[in-house]
A and B are shown apart, each in its own frame.
Chain A
Amino acid sequence: MLDAIFEGLQLAFSFPALWFLLLGIFIGIWVGVLPGLGGAVALALMLPFTFSMDTVSAFSFLLGMYAITSTADAIPAILFGIPGTVASQATILDGHPMAKAGQTSRAFGAAYSVSAIGGVLGAFLLALSLPIIQPFIMAFGVPEFFLLSVLGLTMVGMLSGRSLLKGVAMACLGLLLTTVGYSNATGIPRFYFGLDYLLDGIPIIPVMLGLFAIPELMELAASNTSISREGHKDKTDSLLNGLKDVIKEKWLVIRSSFIGTYVGMLPGLGAAIVDWVAYGHAVQSAKDKSRFGQGDVRGVIAPECANNAHKSGALIPTVAFGIPGSVGTAILLGALIMKGLRPGPDMLTIQLPTTFSMIWSIAIANLIAASALFFFSSKIQKIAYLPGHVVVPGVMVVLLMGSWIGTNSIGDLWLCLVMGVIGYFMKKGGWPRPPLILAIVLGPLMEDNFQLTNQIYGPFSWLFERPVSAGIFLLTLIIVLFSVFKKSSASEKPEAGEGNALNPPISIPFGLILLLVFIIITIQALGYEQFATKSFPLAVLLVGIPVTLLAFITETKNFIRDGDIRSSLLGSYSDRELKLSLKFLAYVFLTIISILFLGHIIGLTLFVLIYLMRWGKKSAKFAIIYGLLVSAFIYLFYDRVMNVLLITPF
């Protein structure tokens, strides 16, 4: 084994493999930074270039790219509140508030260093686990996957802030959104309202970008302040302090690495889940939870560590069993085969040095990427101090392109806008957004595995016959009871999460609308004949309707009891804020219309020009140069390099 480890190291450091690793890292950083692309797209596009490479070089190149997208994706997550890939969704919860508080460098320092450590620890755990991992993986069948998704949902309690009811209602909405489109179990499309766009379900990227990024950009445009609301660097803001935070939280780092690696080993759970699991663990294990959601560095450390460690873990089922757990690992599996290697026992015996060279490549890539990003951070973090009007157009372009990439449909842009509006009112009304996203991530896993469990094992007997299932179920029960007990006994003590905002004039109508939506969906679901088609949405609604009703009644009662109705109504919104928010939404709306008729390049460039000159009051020269750069970027990068289908004029 030791020989294989050193031989693997030698291979990873051999030439030209090392050059290809560096090239892969360079591309991976770009892919991670730009929302919507993700590692799988880059791997697919770059795969043909590996055909002429030797095996070690090919994997150095691909793994270099694959491993570090989840390091670079922290940059947009922290700076703009936009997850670069699905693996950094949870990072935005505390990363972006840190940037707003003038702690950008510190957040970057923590994210980069912990990504490197997570990647290396993940690779180390992967190496250790290789010979003994089979029983662990095989112990997790469909009932365990179902229960793991339920366990994941218990994190709603930690992400709901003061109002558990609102958090649960949002999670129910998220679960229902995942039932849109073809049901896997029956092949029958649900809740698609005759729209082809909805047949494949609601894509997560536009939802995520709309829900989190549009409200942030709206505020930035309305206030024209810099991302860092302080306007200047905080004294404690430095990369080194981020590194110190990581050292201080060393046990959280180690635990998150374990979470990342072992969740990654279970094929099908996916990168989108691991950051939430780690974030939930960070909140749960913290003594003082009051800063979570407002810029707690532990909220950056845990997900960023886990999502890098996950990449190592995900290699195990791919290499050892030929079972890829994601599109990214499926492409790696394809590459493995094309290089004449066969996944399976051979990879753990006669090909062990090659397997170790892959592990080393991941570890080295993580270290190099983190060092490179450390080096360039002083430049990147300056964006946090630019005026809002300079930042908004560029970010908006990247955001709309990121939404578009998923399915190349104009529906993605409308969905992003609609979710932006909903996200804005959720944020203002204290309806927490993270439980909604968490449920969208977990929903398909939950429904598919629930249906499969029922078909394979029948109803519920498996719960008592399978020890791992029983263990996960017990753990879930304990967490739920603990959450409910804690919430009911909580005083005015500050809580983690987004649901702390008290804004009845927005919150109450929002609750009422949500209730109406649930009732309409119930009527539609009852219309489906097949039990398997309607059982999951109806089960969700069974919880969603009473919980939303209760949340609505509680809010209304509190409002009537505590509130000076008149001042609440007037105080919840300033006229100016409302006007500017609507103005921003109108800009986005008109931009989508102009994309539809004039194409991406002209539509988005027009948005940049008009925004900068009319709203930003910038000079024509500045706006034109900015617009030209945007046009060139869309054409050269998205059209020529990524071959993204763009709408052309008329």
Chain B
Amino acid sequence: MNKIFKLLPIFLVLILGSCSNEPTEFYSGKTINIYIGRTPGSGADLAVRLFARYWSDQIPGNPNIVVRNIPGGGGTRVWNFGVEGAETNGLDVMFSPTAGIEAVLQEPGLRANFSEMPFIGGLMSPNMAYVSTESIKTAEDLLTSNNLVFGGQNPIARFDLLGRLALDALGVDYEYVTGFQGASDVLAAVRRNEVDIQVASLGLYRFSVQPLVEQGLAIPLWHNPGTNAQGELYALDVASDIPSFMEFYQALHNQSPSGEFFEMYKWVLPRVNDIVYAAMVPPGTDEEAISILRDSFIRVINDPAYQEEELTMYGFNLPVINVPEGEMIMRGLYDVPPEVDTFLNNYIDQIR
């Protein structure tokens, strides 16, 4: 018994010590600021706000979470803030659309290096291509039609770049028209028969394009697939009703996709399309905070209430990007072979 009493102080120290290391302590009574590089009410803003509502419950200590907007610089300002102005105490989290293509092309204004920012978690926003039936009646007609108009927002937007690469890989004769202010404007142009093909988010497809498909006014073509750790493309479960690009290519050409444009499509895809919304913290952020945030990020993804609300909002659940995948993708942004760099710059400059 005496022995127990002698050891009691040691036990107490151990218990108290472990308590102080409990993640509950770290965020208890604190406020986490989530910064998003888009204006309030934009699609990304609503996605992040939805996530933020569930995040606090999954972080031990239930901190208060406040979402703040830092739009500007084509979405790069928030990331610059992440490396230049944000705190490293674990209370500042950037959760915003990544600027993958800007990083690859070293566009002006982006000073953050994504590969140096600890990755917390990411969400993929699946997307797909469809065509108006005003110009073609079946997907096979793509190869025989001339001068189909592919509408986009600007030459370095991911939907524009992926759409062009995919159409070129398929060998479609098309004209690229760009400069629409938003995806809804492209959709409006499709409805007015000014544009034939659009690459749209799966959300826009589910709620605004699918009714057109049901009325026979549009045909879904393909969805842009995901990329696994081995660099192989895989079809997304959430878009299983639409063929993946590989399946679509196979159906049209009776062979697997290949060629320069396809190789480039494959290279670009994970860098600009796999992580659409990335949560990252400033370099040098407290390790304990990083660990808590990463764990809680996954718990939100698995929270049935969050999943249900996400399902109502998008019609599907956004696929998640885990930390190893995310870190690999971010490193990949800065590993650009010279031939890829030359190809992409020339490809984009053709339009400019």
Interface residues of A (CB under 8 A from B): 40-41, 43-45, 47-48, 51, 138, 140-142, 182-189, 192, 194, 196-197, 199-200, 267-268, 317, 321-325, 327-328, 330-331, 333-334, 337-338, 340, 342-346, 407-409, 444, 448, 451-452, 455-456, 530, 532-533, 643-645
Contacts and interface: CB of A to CB of B under 8 A. Distances in A.
B207 A532 contact: no
A451 B184 CA distance: 18
A268 B184 CA distance: 9
B42 A327 contact: yes
B211 A345 contact: yes
A330 to B, nearest CB: 7
A328 B109 contact: no
Interface string B317-352: 000000000000000000000000000000010011
A415 to B, nearest CB: 12
A517 B348 CA distance: 31
Nearest to A328: B41
A643 B108 contact: no
Contacts of A138: 191-192
Given A327-B39, A407-B71, A452 B184 contact: no
B184 A323 contact: yes
Nearest to A200: B72
B352 A530 contact: yes
Given A185-B179, A344-B211, A142 B189 contact: yes
Given A186-B351, A408-B70, A196 B185 contact: no
Contact of A44 (B41, B155, B207): B41
Contacts of B68: 408, 643-645
A340 B312 CA distance: 7
A185 B192 CA distance: 20
Contacts of B70: 407-408, 645
A199 B66 contact: no
Nearest to B212: A344
A340 B43 CA distance: 18
Given A200-B72, A337-B313, A408-B69, A342 B211 contact: yes
A41 B38 CA distance: 12
A343 B35 contact: no
B19 interface: no
Contacts of B313: 334, 337-338
B120 interface: no
A343 B207 contact: yes
A342 B72 contact: no
A200 B188 contact: no
B30 interface: no
A199 B179 contact: no
A455 B154 CA distance: 13
B156 interface: yes
A187 B156 contact: yes
Contact of A448 (B45, B50, B179, B312): B179
Contacts of A200: 71-74
A185 B348 CA distance: 12
Contacts of B179: 184-185, 448, 451-452, 455
Nearest to B34: A643
Contacts of B73: 196-197, 199-200
Interface in B182-217: 184-185, 187-189, 191-192, 194-195, 207-208, 211, 215
Nearest to A181: B74
B115 to A, nearest CB: 21
Contacts of B352: 186-188, 530, 532-533
Nearest to A194: B108
A644 B40 CA distance: 10
A200 B108 CA distance: 12
Given A331-B46, A452-B177, 18 more contacts: A40-B40, A186-B155, A187-B155, A187-B157, A196-B76, A267-B184, A268-B181, A324-B184, A328-B41, A330-B43, A334-B313, A338-B313, A345-B211, A407-B72, A448-B180, A455-B179, A456-B194, A456-B195
B154 A185 contact: yes
Given A407-B71, A448-B180, A645-B70, A196 B80 contact: yes
B49 interface: yes
B208 A322 contact: yes
A545 B208 CA distance: 46
A327 B182 CA distance: 10
A394 B317 CA distance: 47
In this complex, the member of B40, B45, B76, B155 whose beta carbon has the largest number of chain A beta carbons within 10 angstroms is B40
Closest 6 CB pairs of A and B: A322-B208, A44-B41, A44-B40, A185-B179, A344-B211, A187-B154
A43 B191 CA distance: 27
B177 A322 contact: no
A141 B194 contact: yes
A185 B309 CA distance: 36
Contact of B181 (A184, A187, A334): A184
Contacts of B207: 322, 333, 337, 342-343
Contacts of B40: 40-41, 44-45
Contact of B41 (A327, A407, A530, A645): A327
Contacts of A408: 68-71
B62 interface: no
B76 A330 contact: no
A355 to B, nearest CB: 15
Interface in B65-108: 66-74, 76-77, 80, 108
B307 interface: no
5 contacts: A44-B46, A48-B49, A323-B184, A323-B208, A456-B194
B208 A331 contact: no
A192 B109 CA distance: 10
